[in-house]
Amino acid sequence: MEIAILKDFKGYLQTDGYAVYDFFKEEKDITVLHCMAHARRMFFEAKENDKPIAEYALEQIGLLYTIERKAKEQQLDQEQILQLRQTEAVLESLGRWMKETYLKVLPASAISKALGYSIGRWPELMLYATDGKLNIDNNPVENSIRPLAIGRKNYLFAGSHEAAKRSAILYSLMGTCKLHGINPFIWLRDVLQRIATHPINKIEELLPHNWKPITNG
């Protein structure tokens, strides 16, 4: 499914560490980077196994997020974000510490798995720091699809396969409105009033990311 959706995609692809995404690392036009939030979560879950090591890792990762928060608060541009990351990020030292610590912990323990997860993906986890337009994690995307994930069980009962497809289309349109700062009600009302007389070969003009409301005068 992912391969079909992304068959014409070119650019950066940010994912968790699920092995199925390794396929895209072989694609010449796709650069894969991983999500720091997933790495952080594994250390959080390993606190009961080895609290000192897990908390140190979380503290260091927290410093990385402090940099991101500073960039956002100061409304830095991409070049300034890049410079800030390269000046203050602790990625290199954190990577070395993880490798050294991994040799001292019990194999197959929760902390060992947390360290191994990050060590095996560290180049992809560090990649965000090489370009100011990249994010440290994919939380913005995950937050945007959370309503769908929360309601997933309810969506099992859409009435029919075609009804489920229509619901998915509506969710996509509403989500696109949200991404572009468009009031979904205003967009939908305008489109429903215009669509009957709008040229079918120009129907894409009414999609949220292309839509321009008609102004009087």
113 shares its domain with 75: yes
Pair of tokens at residue 204: 């894409």
> Are 106 and 195 found together in one domain?
no
The answer for residues whose C-beta is within 8 angstroms of residue 193's C-beta and 6 or more apart is: none
User: Which pTM value belongs to this model?
Assistant: 0.71
β-pairing, 11-15 with 30-34?
parallel
149 assigned to some structural domain: no
| pLDDT given for residue 205 in this prediction | 94
Q: Is 54 part of any domain?
A: yes
**Residue 37 falls within a domain, yes or no?**
yes
Please state whether 197 falls in left (phi above 0), alpha (psi between -120 and 50) or beta: alpha
* Residue 74 in tokens: 């100061």
148 falls within a domain: no
Q: What is the mean pLDDT of each run of 10 residues along the chain (217 residues)?
A: 71 87 85 95 96 97 96 96 94 97 96 97 96 92 72 74 86 90 94 93 94 73
Q: Are residues 31 and 114 in the same domain?
A: yes
Same domain flag for 136 and 200: no
185 and 78 in a common domain: no
Shared domain for 8 and 86, answered yes or no, is yes
Counting the structural domains of the chain, the total is: 2
In angstroms, the CA 141 to CA 131 distance is: 19
3-state helix, strand, coil in the chain (%, to 5): 65, 5, 30
> Is there a single domain that holds both residue 136 and residue 169?
no
Q: Are residues 77 and 14 in the same domain?
A: yes
* 72 and 21 in a common domain: yes
Task: Evaluate whether residue 152 is within a structural domain.
Answer: no
| 145 within some domain | no
Domain span holding position 24: 2-140
Cα gap 136→36, rounded to integer Å:
6
**Domain-embedded: residue 154:** no
CA 104 to chain CA centroid, Å, is 33
Q: Do residue 89 and residue 135 come from a single domain?
A: yes
